[in-house]
Structure 1
Amino acid sequence: MEGSKVEKEDIICIICHCIPNKAYTSQCCGIVSCYTCVQNMKQNKLLTCPNCRNKQPNFQLNMYLQKLINKFPVPCKFDCGLILQICEMPSHEKQCPQKFIQCRLCEFKGNKELFIDHATQIHEDQILKLLEFNSYPQFSNQIDVLQEIKNAAGNICNIGITSKFYCGKSAGFKCTICTGVCGPMNGCNCVNCMELDIKYRKLDKGALVNGEGRISYFKNGSFYCGLKSADSRLCGKDYTCRHCISLIGDIPYYKRLFQ
């Protein structure tokens, strides 16, 4: 490298062949590696240098190299035709008109314009159910609907028509009103998705979200949500609705979340 001039072959990670977002260099032979690959080497106990086979390569963060990398011009990964410095690329990629968006309800992937057409044509019913006014409790935390949300098991979750989280995997149990599957759009959910329900509604201990999407409180060995029936009875005062009855049967499964 001469001055601040940088060639791609001088800065790519020797392991993954990508331009590092955090550049590390080895003290043994000066090879470049990214943060992720250095961490993977440590976790897999690969203690020799992948280039010179030194048994103590000692990778360290190279701030000078990182400053040069930040000025390196790269094309947008969404093929919009724009070429920017690496340090400018993250803000552009958030707004890039060619950015790919993955549909959570199917396998479609496309840019914003194509995604909107797909959503309104293929998933019209689901969109209407999510956007129309209903009595389901709203989230206490604002959720970016384009952000990928995973539960504690690492499964990607969707928000169903009841405003509950669902991953589409096995719920781990089968109650009287569901099929034993977490979602995909309504009904009971697995313990890890229920944990997200509690987190995003900022619920205190002693509360879960039933299969209807209503906050249900545990009291005297039972759950009650306050649902008003067609004949004006209240769940918890005059009767127990079927969704809260379902939660009662699932107490052993959800126990760690509300006690």
Structure 2
Amino acid sequence: MKGQIEEEDIMCIVCQDVPSNAHTSQCCGCVLCEECSVLTISGSKTCPHCRNQNPKFEKNMYLIKLINKFPVICKYECGHVSQVSDIKNHYKSCPKKIYTCSNCEYQGKKQDFFNHITSTHKDEVIHYFDKSQEQSSTPSKTVYTIDPLQEVKNSRGNVCQIGKTSKFFCGKNVGHKCNTCDGQCGPNDGCNCPPCMELDLKYRNLIGKQALINAEGKVAFLANGSFYCGTFNQDYGKCGKIGYKCRYCTSLTSDFPYYKHLLQSDNKNV
């Protein structure tokens, strides 16, 4: 097999990593991982290799099978070598795996990481695991609750319902169309219009917290110009870690101009 294929031949042309779910372009045959192909379609809409407009990418099952047999060296430098299809299982138990602290970005191996969070972030750990703690009786901002007997209207005066993703929908035109919606605000799922997104933030007490709700109904926080929800994917890991962004946050990032005014501190509609 080594005589048939080299690592550079199967690298994703965008992220320069070995793709676990390879796609190829119809225009020039360049290789991309699934997430980068989705990002390309929703973002630049131009093939990253030949610059063809509105490229189409298809899952390449032959290449996927070939890649899954390709030997990969552990990125944590423990010396372990396995096939692409098995390397993620190895990473879960690798003795040299590096953990990253979500509070201060400290990095270290498992025992060092544990010592770090139980010393540096002792109060946060206690707060997270202690069920006996009472929640504050005096919230810093008004807490909005939903009365099932009352109609809920958005800032345009449209009556709204809660869809299966726990987002508000009024059934009107969203104002844009992407790969997670059909351009309509509901009625069950997908993207919602800015006034309904405003209700999402209001009733989840997220006003002023630089966050929006993606089409899956997850809270996604803005960081470095992109949204990340932290949802775990079995193949790619956590949305927001090591460059991975789920398809819902990818769409939300591209749709940000429609919702940007909701994150402004001088927003008068909330």
Q: Normalising by the residue count of structure 1, what TM-score does the alignment of the two structures yield?
A: 0.47
Q: Over alpha carbons, which structure has the higher Rg?
A: 1
Q: Normalising by the residue count of structure 2, what TM-score does the alignment of the two structures yield?
A: 0.45
